[in-house]
Amino acid sequence: MYYFYLTYLISYVFFSIFGLINDIFFPEFKLKRLSLADIKFHYVYVCDVVFKNLLVNSIPIFVLCEVVYSNYIDNTTIIQYLSQYMITILLGVNIEYLVYRLKTSNYFREYHTLKSEYCQSFGFMAHYEHKYDYYLTMISIVFPALLRFHPDTFKSWIIIILYKKIILDVVNIKEFYIDSYIINNGLGYLNLYIKNEEKLVSEEKLVSEEKLVSEEKLVSEEKLVSEEKLISNYSLLSNPIHYSNIMSNNSIVNADKHSNGHYSNSL
């Protein structure tokens, strides 16, 4: 036996422990920091699914790999070994991409949502996925066994692909996850710039509206004053002149003159 499953399990545990150490002791390196209580909650939350995939669903796959190599004879030359290693790297990258596209297709999207909708990223949850989704993932891991490449090539590929899936994809370290870090921060700065621009435009619009309201208020006040003045003038013009008032006023004037003796008969 070549103990491929043991290589797989030890690699997964080792890289997951590396991610756990980073989560606990170096949270400043993560894109999103978590408290110890949050770390414990998320690890406990995913452990049932992860353990089931690691300890149950993966065993038939690696038993099949051992069966494939049951009568394997190692007569590989150095050239063949290097060729197999290069082919494994090239095929592995492309197969992983094709598997990812298949997961996100309409046929398997309902199974892929278990992992894609989870809000946190840490190393241990790399295989937090549905059973069918996990089997598709294992295709990109065990394909060298199906091609009967050298067992050491297969074991090396298990270590490489788990390092990629755990450390580079889901540990969420800034230095390793630089593309997402740049995108997230870039989008953050862009959203902040857009919000500032919208705030500035709204403030300018508010100032212009207040200025327009004040101008309309001033015009209305001027119009009101002119209307009041016009009404007062109209009331003066429309008020009739009574001759009785004029006569009474003239009598008073004549009486004053008579009392002063200007028009007295005695004179």
For residue range 7-53, list pLDDT tens digits in order.
Answer: 999 999 999 999 999 889 988 887 777 889 999 999 999 999 999 99
For residues 55-66, average pLDDT: 96
What is residue 82's predicted lDDT score, i.e. its pLDDT? 95
- Does pTM top 0.75 for this prediction? no
Decide: 159 and 13 in contact? Cβ < 8 Å: no
Determine, yes or no, domain membership for 185: no
Same domain, 140 and 245: no
- Of 130, 147, 176, the residue at which a domain comes to its end is 176
Determine, yes or no, domain membership for 245: yes
For residues 257-266, average pLDDT: 45
Same domain, 208 and 162: no
- Of 176, 205, 225, the residue at which a domain comes to its end is 176
What is residue 196's predicted lDDT score, i.e. its pLDDT? 58
Determine, yes or no, domain membership for 109: yes
Q: How many domains does the chain have?
A: 2
Determine, yes or no, domain membership for 147: yes
For residues 236-249, average pLDDT: 50
Decide: 165 and 18 in contact? Cβ < 8 Å: no
Q: Residue 60 — pLDDT band, cuts 50, 70, 90? A: very high
Determine, yes or no, domain membership for 183: no
- Of 135, 151, 176, the residue at which a domain comes to its end is 176
For residue range 111-143, list pLDDT tens digits in order.
Answer: 887 776 677 788 999 999 999 999 999 999 999
Residue range(s) defining the domain that contains residue 61: 4-176
Same domain, 99 and 206: no
Contact residues for 118 (Cβ-Cβ < 8 A; gap 6+) = 46, 125, 128
Same domain, 166 and 245: no
Determine, yes or no, domain membership for 115: yes
Same domain, 171 and 129: yes
For residues 151-178, average pLDDT: 86
